Amino acid sequence: MSVKFQEESVRTVAHAAGKPEDLAHRIGDRLTGGKGPDRLSSECGSQAYLKQLQQNPLRTKMLTSGVLSGLQELLASWLAHDVGKHGHYFSSRIPKMSLYGMFVAAPLGHVLIGILQKIFAGRTSLKAKILQILVSNLIISPIQNGVYLSSMAVIAGARTFHQVRATVKAGFMPVMKVSWVTSPLALAFAQKFLPEHTWVPFFNIIGFFIGTYVNTHTKKKRLEALRKRYDQRRGPEHEKRDYP
The candidate with the shortest Cα–Cα distance to 137, out of 211, 210, 188, is: 188
**If you average pLDDT over residues 215-221, what whole number do you get?**
86
What are the sequence ranges of the domains in the chain?
Answer: 49-220
Kindly report the backbone phi and psi dihedral angles of residue 243, in degrees, each rounded to the nearest multiple of 5, phi listed first.
-130, 80
Residue 62 reports pLDDT greater than 80: yes
Altogether, the residues listed in the chain come to a count of 244
Contact call for residues 89 and 78 (beta carbons, < 8 A): yes
What is the model's pLDDT at position 6? 47
Contact call for residues 200 and 113 (beta carbons, < 8 A): yes
What is the model's pLDDT at position 43? 53
For the stretch 220-233, pLDDT in tens is: 888 888 888 888 88
Full-model pTM = 0.74
Residue 79 reports pLDDT greater than 90: yes
What gap in Å lies between CA 7 and CA 130, rounded to an integer?
41
Contact call for residues 62 and 103 (beta carbons, < 8 A): yes
For the stretch 139-196, pLDDT in tens is: 999 999 999 999 998 998 889 999 999 989 988 999 999 999 999 999 999 999 999 9
User: Number of helices (H) and strands (E), helices first, in the chain?
Assistant: 10, 0
Count Cβ atoms below 10 Å from residue 231 Cβ, excluding itself.
10
